[in-house]
Chain A
Amino acid sequence: MQSVQKMGGIGALIAAGTFVVGLAMFATLFTDFVSAATPAAAAEFIADNQLALYLWNITIMIVFGIALVPFVLAIADLLRDAHSPLARVASVFGLIWSGVIISTGMITNIAYATVSDLHGTDPEMASTVWAGLDAVTNGLGGGNEVLGGVWVLGISIVALRERLFARWVNYLGVVTGVAGLATVVPALEDVGAVFGLGLIVWFIAVGIDLLTNSDRSAEPSSPRLETSRTS
């Protein structure tokens, strides 16, 4: 039980770290890529910056997706004794989210190679192919944050009821989760930034909680839960 929480806490901090590194690279190295107006400009950027893009993608998608699994399982474990169907359903969404993020990372990895190769022989086709792949990877891992949103929201609602983490952490989780869900509305895709930033803080806070309280048992008679219930 303790080890699950410790691994989960480490997973959470790694996930938060990948987010921070990702944002930093995004804001410095990849401003041209992000603001690339046309698929052709994007394809050219890919051909020129393949290595940096690989590292970025592996960090924000693949390392993140892998670190998410122990984190999701650790929270699910802590909430097991709450007998909450919501917590169980939310955890499944967390695991699906991990699968989708890893998928996005693997597709993107191959996409960079495909587009760079094509760019050498047929730049026009390279931009068409990139437009298609960009839609797929954006749909799975970025444009719509439904899966992560459902997970964070569901967990935070149950955690509020069970007084599992600090109150502000759970409220932050609710706001972040709702922001994630809001990205389904096409006009609200930019709310994804709230989701991203909120998530970094939530990951760090919950990760530290899991690590510092890793000796708490998940039994309902745990002193921490008991005192907080009576208070």
Chain B
Amino acid sequence: MTTTIQNQTSKQLVQASRAGAIGGLIAAAAFIFGIALLVTSLSDYADGDATPAEKVDFLVGHQSTLYVWYSVIFLVFGVAIIPLARTLRERLVDVSPELADIGAVFAYIWAGLMFATGMTHNIGDAAVADLNETDPAAAEALWSAISTVTDGLGGGNELVGGMWILLVSLAAWGTKRLPKGLNVLGIVSALAGLITLVPGLSDVGMIFGLGSIAWFAWTGIVLLRNPTVAAPVAEVAR
């Protein structure tokens, strides 16, 4: 009887862990897709020196590419981190209840911010393109305002995502719940994310971005290969 219950519990754990693992891998893939597009077809758009007028021109000419890009990096990514956050909280809550709980709250807030950013982009870009047909000067001003909002919510300051990854890494620190190298990577990436808060250091966000890709992918693999926390993590770490 007890064995059956244990088997069921561990089966549930394995399933939850698999959902989290898939979430982590999708999040990493969404990030990679986003960066790949950013340095290829969208590189002109990402150019920091471009004027609002140039940005609006580019936006009007590449609306569907931008739509796909935003949908993947914000909406798909936002959905993917929810199961990952749940799984990581489950995995850490008995060894560090406070940090695991607080970290999960930041993850859920981050998911909300990602949705908000993606939705504002999709509606805002359409509004800019429409306005550009009748009043290009107003379209530039509108673009400046909307891109400030979306940059603030989802990109320019990587504070919330940084808080989550930092708290997960600290909660797992010194335990065998996640490999040590992963925790180091998490802390370094997260600190880079928090630093983006300092004006002028937004570019450090790139370290956060690349570090996060590795963190998401590695976390996904750990959760997939080692779904129950009872098993030793050591061999997965290598």
Contact = CB atoms under 8 A, between A and B. Distances in A.
B23 interface: no
Contacts of A112: 199
Interface in A98-128: 98-99, 102-103, 106-114, 118, 125, 128
B149 interface: yes
Interface string B133-170: 00001101110110111011100110110010000000
B195 to A, nearest CB: 13
Contacts of B149: 107, 133, 136
Contacts, number: 87
Nearest to B138: A128
A160 B109 CA distance: 29
Contacts of A110: 148, 151-152, 156-157
A107 B148 CA distance: 7
Chain B interface residue number, banded: 20 to 34
A106 B152 contact: yes
Contact of B113 (A73, A95, A103): A103
Contacts of A95: 105, 108-109
Contacts of B140: 125
A109 B98 contact: no
Given A107-B148, A110-B156, A114-B148, A128 B141 contact: yes
Given A69-B106, A110-B152, A129 B97 contact: no
B34 interface: no
Contact of B148 (A7, A58, A133): A133
A46 interface: no
Interface residues of A, number: 33
A39 B163 CA distance: 34
Contact of B102 (A70, A113, A114): A70
B207 interface: no
Interface string A178-192: 000000000000000
A3 B109 contact: no
Contacts of A69: 102, 105-106
B109 A99 contact: yes
Q: Output the residue of A50, A70, A110 with the most chain B CB within 10 A.
A: A110
Contacts of B52: 125
A132 B97 CA distance: 42
A96 B106 CA distance: 10
A95 B111 CA distance: 13
A103 B144 contact: no
A106 B163 contact: no
B145 A132 contact: yes
Contacts of A62: 159, 197
B157 A109 contact: yes
Contact of A66 (B108, B112, B163): B163
A4 interface: yes
A118 B144 contact: yes
Interface string B17-44: 0000000000000000000000000000
A213 B134 CA distance: 64
A125 to B, nearest CB: 5
B188 interface: no
Interface in A64-103: 66, 69-70, 73, 95-96, 98-99, 102-103
B125 interface: no
A54 B149 CA distance: 16
Given A95-B105, A109-B156, A133 B98 contact: no
Listed from nearest, the 7 A-B pairs whose CB atoms lie closest are A107-B152, A99-B109, A132-B145, A106-B157, A110-B152, A106-B152, A128-B141
24 contacts: A7-B98, A50-B199, A54-B199, A58-B197, A69-B106, A73-B98, A95-B108, A95-B109, A98-B105, A99-B109, A99-B113, A99-B160, A102-B109, A103-B116, A107-B153, A108-B152, A109-B197, A110-B157, A113-B199, A114-B148, A125-B137, A132-B142, A132-B145, A133-B149
Given A103-B153, A128-B138, A136-B145, 11 more contacts: A4-B101, A7-B102, A102-B160, A106-B159, A108-B152, A110-B148, A111-B148, A114-B147, A114-B148, A125-B144, A132-B142
